[in-house]
Amino acid sequence: MKNVLVIGASGDIGRAIVQALAQENYQFILHYHQNKQAMENLLKDIETSKVLQVIQADLTKDDGANNLYEQIVYAVHAVIYVSGLTEHRLFSEVDEQTMDRMLTLHVKSPWLITQKLLPSMIKRHSGKVIFITSIWGSSGASNEVIYSSVKGAQNSFVKALAKEVGPSGVSVNAVSPGFIDTKMNRHIQAEERQTIISQIPANRIGLPDEIAHAVQFLMDEKSNYILGEIIQISGGWH
């Protein structure tokens, strides 16, 4: 049975991923930041024997990644990065503190955590690293310049690291969602939501379960020949 570290398991997409993988031969180390209630609700939905640890850590802080890693007491065979924050405002209005927080959460913390987990994966000649990025990481979005930038950094990290560790049996990939029905998008007004939907060829909002399905696919050993890919799940929206 393989142990999966899910970073940001309490969010809508994180929850869907854990619920999907819980139907298979995986055990979990589950991370959350603030939403303790959401984590408790998730734990009620999956078998107790499937959960090895629950870890709280703030990955927007410089010491967050080390704090998380030092709490892990089990081997990690796969890590899935789901944590994310967005900043919806003009770039000219974004303060430096926000920039630092976004960079640390989306870029530096994943760098540090992955760096610490890789040696054991390389030694086993087996491992999975999966990021949940965003279509804005490749196409960019006005009023979300910082978010687009850090998601673009994640995409580049995935492509580069996959080339570096692929020969060692470790696969690195990403799933890039479009407009998904999550808490992060629920602040959008009804009229604006409808405008977005009208631009999506599938003519609807995506579901967290659809992102989870793609992660299931990448986690399967039959997907080991897929390396450095950014799988876009957007209903055709670009």
- Report CA-CA distances (Å) from 183 to 12, 119, 162, 191, 193: 7, 35, 31, 17, 13
Q: What is the pLDDT of residue 186?
A: 66
pLDDT in tens, 90-105: 999 999 999 999 999 9
Question: Does residue 120 register a pLDDT over 90?
Answer: yes
Question: Does residue 2 register a pLDDT over 70?
Answer: yes
pLDDT in tens, 194-222: 888 888 999 899 999 999 999 999 999 99
Phi, psi of 41 (to 5 degrees): -65, -40
147 included as an active-site residue = yes
What's the pTM? 0.95
Q: What is the pLDDT of residue 48?
A: 94
Chain center to CA of 25: 20
Q: What is the pLDDT of residue 51?
A: 98
pLDDT in tens, 55-109: 999 999 999 999 999 999 999 999 999 988 888 899 999 999 999 999 999 999 9
Question: Does residue 185 register a pLDDT over 80?
Answer: no
Region of residue 32 (phi > 0: left; psi between -120 and 50: alpha; otherwise: beta): beta
Q: Which tokens is 184 given?
A: 């992060």
Question: Does residue 3 register a pLDDT over 80?
Answer: yes
Who's near 30: CB < 8 A, 6+ residues apart? 6, 9, 10, 18, 39, 42, 43, 51, 53, 54, 55
Over residues 157-167, mean pLDDT: 98
Over residues 3-17, mean pLDDT: 97
Question: Does residue 6 register a pLDDT over 90?
Answer: yes
Domains and CATH numbers, the chain: 2-233 (3.40.50.720)
Alpha-carbon span 189 to 174, nearest angstrom: 29
- Report CA-CA distances (Å) from 185 to 28, 139, 151: 27, 18, 16
pLDDT in tens, 32-60: 999 999 999 999 999 999 999 999 999 99
- The rounded percent of the chain whose pLDDT value lies above 70 is 98
Could you say which of 69, 74, 147, 225 is catalytic? Answer: 147
